[in-house]
Structure 1
Amino acid sequence: MEIFVKINDKTHKDFFGLLENNQVLKVNGDIFTEYTVTEESYPLDEIKLSAPCEPSKIVGIGLNYKDAVEKTNASTPVEPIVFLKPPTTIIGPYDPIIYPAMSKVVTYEVELAVVIGKKAKNVSEDKALDYVFGYTIANDVTAKDLLGKYGPWDIGKGFDTFLPLGPYIVTGIDPSKLRITMRQNGVTTQDSCTCNMIFSVPYLIGYVSKIMTLLPGDVIITGTPAGASELKIGDVLEGSIENIGTITNKVIGG
C-alpha cells in the first residue's frame, strides 16, 4: 500500500508526494507512468493538500447502494446509472463548498472514488482492477432542485466546488468491504459499507470502459449509501472511508 498526496508549496506550485510517517516526500515525474521519490520532505501538518488528481472526466454512478434503494423504495437498477461531472467541480479535501445562488436545495453524498491508472477501453470485469491506480474519497454535492429541470443531470451536478476530493490516493486496498461514513456538524448521517454496492468496482470499470475510454487520472465515483441529506450554509461535512481517511468541507455562501 502506498499513499499519494498532491500538495501546494510556498511557490503555489502543485506537485505530488508520497506520505510516509507523517512526512510527505516530493515525487518527480508522473505517478501514473514513471516517477522517482526525492529526499525533499514536508511535514504533513505544515502543508496544504490539493485534490489528489486532475481527471479529464469524472464518471458518476447513481443509486448504487442496496440500503439507499431500500430507504427510498426505489427500483433496483438493472444496469448502472451513469452521469458526468466536469473537472471544474473538484476542490481539495479541506476547501469550502460554495452554495450556489441558483439553488435552494443542495445535498451531499459521500462516495468511494476510483482513480484510473492506465488507459482503459473495453476492459473485462475480471481484469478491471489492473487498471486502477488507487482510491480516494469524494463528496458528490448536488443541487437537487435543479436536477433534471432542464433535461439531464448536468446543471444539478455541475456547479464549481461540487466535488471535494481527497485527502489521499491509497493504492493496494480492497474496495469491496470498506466502511463509509458521513458526519454533518458532528452527527453521523451515513454509515455503511462498500459491500452494499449493487454494482461492484470491477463491474463499473468494465461497464464504463465499454462506453468511453478511461484515461490515467480519471475518476469514477461509485454511488452513495443511505442517509444523504440536505446541507445548509455553515454546515461542516466530514466524509470518511476506512483505510483512506477523511475529507472535511465547510459550506459557505456564494
Structure 2
Amino acid sequence: MKLLRYGPKGAERPAVLDSDGNMRDLSGVVADIDGETLAPDSLAKLAALDTGSLPLVEGTPRIGSAIARPGKFLCVGLNYADHARETGKQPPEEPVLFGKAANAISGPNDDVEIPRGSEKTDWEVELGIVIGSRAKYVSEADALDHVAGYALVNDVSERSFQSERGGQWIKGKSHDTFGPVGPWLVTKDEIADVQNIDLWLDVDGERRQTGNTSTMIFGVAHLVHYISQFMTLEPGDIIATGTPPGVGLGMKPPVFLKAGQVVTLGAAGLGEQRQVMVTA
C-alpha cells in the first residue's frame, strides 16, 4: 500500500492510492496515518479494504508529510562511505545518530525555508524507515518485523549551524521545513529489496546526487537493531538512514542553496519531492 496525507497544513486527512494511482480518502476508516494506524493489525485491515469503494479525492490537493506526529525523528549520519569522505570524515565504525526536531517535518512539495543568517543550507536525499511495532533490544534478524514501511526524506541541513556553532548537530538540522517526508509511506511488502533502492536529487534540474541503498555502511535491519539498544522505537517513529555522496558541502568549492532555487528528489518505488527555497 501507499498511504499518504492530503489537505492544508495542520488539517491533513488520511488517504491511500488505489490500483490506478488515484487518491482515496481513508478518514472514514482511520483518524490519521500515525503510530496507531501503522500497527501490524491495523495495516492488515487497511490492506483488506476494497480501495475502489472509498471516496475519491478530487483535484490536486496539497500533500502533507506521510506520517503524522512521529514521536521521534532520528537520523543516521555518514552512512555512505563516499559521503563521509566528501565531508572530510572517515567512515564510522558504528552508526552516528542524531535527531531532527518535530517542527522540521513538512510536506514533500512544501517550500523549504532558508534560515535567517544562513549561508550554508544543503540538501540530502535519504531513505526513511517508518516503525510499525515497538522495538526494544531487537535482534538484527527480527528487526524488519518492526518496520511498517519506508518513505522518501530530504534531510535539509544548515552546515554552519551544524558544525561551526558548537554543540550537537540538531541545531543545523531542525529549522522549520527541514524535514520533508513523503509523498507516501510505502508498506514494506511493496519493496522487494530495501538494500537496492536508487536515490537521486537535482538542484535547478542539475543532477547532484545519485546513489543506491546497497552502498550503505549500515543496512536497514542493522540500524533498527542498533538503535533499539539505546532507546525504544515506537510505531510512527521515522529514521532517516543517511545520504549518498553529492551534497553541496562536498563540492569543490562548496555550493549551497539560495532563495528561488528548486530541489527535486526521488527514490525508486517511493515517489518524488519538489521544493522551492524561500527566505525565512
TM-score, length-scaled by structure 1? 0.93
Q: Confirm or deny that 1:5 pairs with 2:23.
A: no
Match of 1:99 among 110, 114, 120: 114
Contact in 2 for aligned 1:120/1:209 (Cα 8 Å): yes
2:132 maps to which residue?
A: 117
Q: Deviations over 1:116-165 (max 9, x none)?
A: 11111111111111111111111111111111413111211111111111
Shift of 1:15: 2.1
Q: What is the correspondence of 1:1-254 to structure 2 with a 5 Å cutoff?
A: 2-8=1-7, 13-20=11-18, 21-27=20-26, 28-29=29-30, 30-33=36-39, 34=42, 36=46, 37=49, 39-43=54-58, 46-54=60-68, 55-72=70-87, 74-148=89-163, 149-171=165-187, 172=189, 173=191, 174-229=193-248, 230-254=256-280
CA distance in 2, matches of 1:7, 1:72: 36
Match of 2:63, SS state, is strand
Match of 2:141, SS state, is helix
List runs of 5+ in structure 2 lacking aligned partners.
31-35, 249-255
Q: Which amino acid aligns with 2:12?
A: D
Contact in 2 for aligned 1:67/1:196 (Cα 8 Å): no
Shift of 1:25: 1.8
Match of 2:129, SS state, is strand
Shift of 1:70: 4.2
Query: Which structure carries more strand by proportion?
Result: 1
Match of 1:79, SS state, is coil
Contact in 1 for aligned 2:80/2:91 (Cα 8 Å): no
CA distance in 2, matches of 1:241, 1:79: 25
Shift of 1:180: 0.4
CA distance in 2, matches of 1:104, 1:166: 27
2:251 maps to which residue?
A: none
CA distance in 2, matches of 1:155, 1:73: 20
Say what the alpha-carbon RMSD is for the aligned residues: 1.7
The size of the alignment, in residue pairs, is: 251
TM-score, length-scaled by structure 2? 0.85
Shift of 1:73: 5.1
Q: Which amino acid aligns with 2:185?
A: I
CA distance in 2, matches of 1:244, 1:147: 28
Shift of 1:12: 7.1
Q: Which amino acid aligns with 1:129?
A: L
CA distance in 2, matches of 1:93, 1:80: 26
CA distance in 1, matches of 2:11, 2:274: 23
Change (3 A) 1:15 1:82: same
Q: Deviations over 1:182-205 (max 9, x none)?
A: 011001100011101000000000
Contact in 1 for aligned 2:4/2:66 (Cα 8 Å): yes
Contact in 2 for aligned 1:97/1:249 (Cα 8 Å): yes
List runs of 5+ in structure 1 lacking aligned partners.
none
Q: Which amino acid aligns with 1:140?
A: D
